[in-house]
Structure 1
């Protein structure tokens, strides 16, 4: 079993999540083409504060994340404070935990609240797959550094003459794990083969995700938690997620070719989450502060856990490792959950985790536990669709899931909800939420 880090929000005074908001998510190079993540983050945080009715001076801390980081704005959190109308004295720092980034931001603000150093904080994340840090080759980078140290024009020209044409080509951001060279899709393929998950099962889950997400939009379930963003030149304003297939047809999924293992694979673009732009944030505060301010919390953070496992195989099983710890810390079982929201990086990864939740062998051999968590009731699972439909701006997904789950729990009269995700590097996260 991988090492895990856990914190439990079970102290005398609870951590309240009073509001959450996000921008509509957009597929890469569509509505947010050319808009950097920092601007997406500013837009959602500014609107979150305005809607709260709080004075910006009330916000003690902002913790924000970005996975695809831009060199010109390495501390996205501080840039958001300075550009979203918050007080310049608001503490701000950035975090990165791959696809679990905004979960980490939420945990950090919660810890500050539990420690008594913060009363009100904002946590979230933003990412742009359309504005990328395009780099240069290592040869060119080294030459540029050496040229800066050169003392004469002749020395500079000599350095330039050593470069080959291929050294001048731009370098796109890496999509593979630094330590293994494996892409996330390669791991999804491995898990599909290891756990006997068919192409048909993956396509069915993807279709389900789109159908439920389209229904959620049609029924107005997301209206209060999504705000349309207005960016120059103020044309073609996006009001809904543009990846959701409103007329999804199951038979159309089988037409796509495998994306990673071209010969034997089952993971396709249709049963995976796409590259996406977006931002999301939540506001947290001490329970007593919420009462003083007359604010009704969406719900409370009951517990959370982070896990880490090996990256060479089953790297995306993070939910299966983190969830039993979070449930144990919350003092509840899987059956006591009213809702379960799992990040759908790939249909194969999602289905593999569902199998491991119910696997006695996995519980004994990998978790060191006497029994499995149990079978997941699909009537409770990703009831509004998941990341395959909505898209996945890496650092924003956790905040989307938390807000969406809390609002759905309120519509259903309360209860416990689980939000859980895998992340690059063999990381995992699980959070238990409570709505009265």
Structure 2
């Protein structure tokens, strides 16, 4: 699966606490007990649609790895209900799965708290797992939980483990804010001071400027550009209009609301907030109207940018978890798997000009590995960092010129049909806790395959740094889920580009629109930065 980008660059240092992860793990274990013992052919529970028969991706001698269950807390707008509730247990403490049956626990997170740097271990111990169960935490920007899952898949495939709990957590309501560098230096020096005179001298050197806090960075470390700014540039380069972005954002919220009202988001578990009501659903789903969306101003490139608060994913609190097992182990324990996890691909691109193009690069690779085409895929779930990012990727995937020029392919892979694409909403409406979105995507694909009677599913997500993950999974006997992620390597060019104005000339569909930054425009109308470095331009046949 290919993962795309996020409203805030995941290079931030955000606090994450172990309780939400612990709560999700506990609820996951209780949920698995409600599953029916599977038949030998792994018929899913209550399949409403007959699965289409396609070729199987099962390979002789290769262990089948299955998704048994996936759960998540409600994804909530940062600063709302979770501001205090994440510090308390809010999920039912039922552990029907024997805790000693879990071989390994892996969690992903982006903004870490120093006190719980290995949140997977702390969550496992807090949830009552054996101290003999190894646990580790991974971070890979917005595809951190994807990395947690694929790491678990690797452990099972290698024969080291049979049962893995993987997940992710992000708590944006309480990010760590540090003292200034000068203040930190002074405080460390105070610890080393041996006499009262030395301490008083250091204290006397403190100035008002020392007290200014150091806020978490929101820009890419390698480019000093925010992800929103990059998304605006990308949308302009691919000719994605403000209208197209607002329409896609409205689609996401509308579909999410329908799915929520229909009870399709069955992976969401209730969370009891001490002293308050039970939180049982995502609170960022807000269907509006095109007229209301059109009133919003540009959020990053002002005043002419097209990325707004409405067509961007919002800061979110939340946690997710999945139970992954070898098929043999799952059947032996009486579980009915929801999907086979078949393949995955990680790719990296230039973080400056291709930061959010991961899905376009990762999708062809994971399909090639699986021996499938876009026509074989029944369910698509792409991470919606920005509406403009999604639309730009779809245009890139549907362009022969882009495939030949930038990917070395003879032809385009093709864009996913919208009737199969993110039909239960996406990150724009459901929310995007950086470390938890990957598990949501994979679980959603599994549930949609069962609901729609599909066989193959594809997950894609972009991430800070230009990285991407794409994964592919298979619904047991009824379908397959492919999932993928994408990410990009750091560029050696750390030049900081500053926000400027919009400059338009004929280009894409007889119209070229790209963002002009402070610097200058060359005599040949080529956009130049302060270093006279041309901004990359994409053209389409």
Deviation at 1:367, TM superposition (A): 1.6
User: 1:4 is matched with which residue?
Assistant: none
1:279 equivalent in structure 2: 319
Give me the whole-angstrom Cα distance separating, in 1, the residues matched to 2:228 and 2:441: 22
Deviation readout 1:220-271 (Å, 9 max, x if unpaired)? 101x3110112323x03211100001x4222210111111011110100000
CA RMSD of aligned residues (A): 1.7
Deviation at 1:382, TM superposition (A): 0.6
Classify the secondary structure of the residue corresponding to 2:473.
strand
Which residue number in structure 2 is paired with residue 298 of structure 1?
338
Match of 1:33, SS? helix
Partner residue, 2:419? 379
- Determine whether 1:226 maps to 2:263: no
- Residue among 243, 248, 269 paired with 2:284: 243
Q: How far apart are 1:157 and its partner, in Å?
A: 2.2
| 8 Å Cα contact 2:273-2:279 kept in structure 1 | no
| C-alpha displacement of 1:117 | 0.6
TM-score in terms of structure 2 length? 0.75
Q: Which structure's residues are more often helix, by fraction?
A: 1
Q: CA deviation at 1:414?
A: 3.1
CA contact (8 A) 1:9 1:303 kept: no
Corresponding residue number in structure 1 for 2:430: 390
Work out whether 1:83 is the aligned partner of 2:133.
no
**Aligned equivalents of 2:210, 2:219: Cα separation in 1:** 21
What is the correspondence of 1:300-379 to structure 2 with a 5 Å cutoff?
Answer: 300-379=340-419
Q: Distance in 1 between matches of 2:183 and 2:367?
A: 51
1:17 is aligned to 2:67: yes
- Which whole-Å deviations, capped at 9, do the CAs of 1:24-83 have from their partners, x for residues lacking one? 1110110100345xx58x767x76x73xx3211111111001111111110000011011
Q: What's the secondary structure of 1:324's corresponding residue?
A: helix
- 2: CA distance, partners of 1:43 / 1:283: 20
SS of 1:305's equivalent in the other structure is: strand
Aligned twin of 1:111: 154
Q: Quote the residue 1:74 is aligned against.
A: 117
Indicate the residue corresponding to 1:5 in structure 2.
Answer: none
- Look up the match of 1:26: 76
Distance 2:204 2:73 in 1: 48
Kindly state the Cα deviation for residue 319 of structure 1 after the two structures are TM-superposed: 1.1
1:379 is paired with a residue whose SS is helix
Identify the residue that residue 211 of structure 2 maps to in structure 1. Answer: 168
198-207 vs 149-158, which moves further = 149-158
The offset of 1:87, in angstroms, is 2.1
**Counterparts of 2:172 and 2:425, CA distance in 1:** 22
SS at match of 2:97: coil
Residues 1:156 and 2:199 aligned together: yes
String of CA shifts for 1:185-217, please: whole Å, max 9, x gaps. Answer: 010011011111110000000000000000001
- Distance in 2 (CA, whole Å) between partners of 1:182 and 1:405 is 32
Q: Decide whether the 8 Å contact of 1:9 with 1:301 is kept in 2.
A: no
User: CA 1:119–1:43 in structure 2 vs 1: closer, same or farther (change >3 Å)?
Assistant: farther
Give me the whole-angstrom Cα distance separating, in 2, the residues matched to 1:68 and 1:371: 39
Equivalences for residues 121-132 of structure 1 within 5 A: 121-132=164-175
Unaligned segments of structure 1, at least 5 residues: 1-7
- 1:155-193 deviation line (CA, Å, top 9, x unaligned): 222223333212212222111111211111010011011
**Partner-residue secondary structure (3-state), 1:282:** strand
Gaps of 5+ in 2: 1-56, 479-541
In the alignment, the residues of structure 2 paired with residue 156 and residue 202 of structure 1 have an alpha-carbon distance, to the nearest angstrom, of 57
Distance (Å, rounded) in 2 between the aligned partners of 1:93 and 1:398: 17
The DSSP-based 3-state class of the residue aligned with 2:472 is: strand
Counterpart in the other structure of 1:3: none
- Verify the 8 A CA contact 2:461 2:468 in the aligned structure 1: yes
Q: Could you tell me whether the CA contact under 8 Å between 1:9 and 1:114 is conserved in 2? A: no
- Residue 83 of structure 2 aligns to a residue whose secondary structure is coil
- Tell me how far 1:328 sits from its aligned partner: 1.2
What is the SS of the residue equivalent to 2:122? helix
Q: Answer whether contact 1:35 1:131 (CA < 8 A) is retained.
A: no
Distance change >3 Å, CA 403–CA 385, structure 1 → 2 = same
**How many residues get paired?**
419
Q: Is the 8 A contact 2:403 2:412 kept in 1?
A: yes
Distance 2:225 2:167 in 1: 28
Distance, in Å, in 1 between the alignment partners of 2:464 and 2:200 is 42
Residues 323 and 429 in structure 1, CA contact (< 8 A), matched pair in contact too = no
Question: SS at 2:272's partner residue?
Answer: coil
CA distance in 2, matches of 1:229, 1:405: 23
Partner secondary structure for residue 263 of structure 1:
coil
TM-score by length of structure 1 reads: 0.93
Question: What is the match of residue 227 of structure 2?
Answer: 184
SS in structure 2 of the partner of residue 421 of structure 1: strand
Which is greater in Rg?
2
> Structure 1 residues 149 and 35, CA, compared in 2 at 3 Å: closer, same or farther?
farther
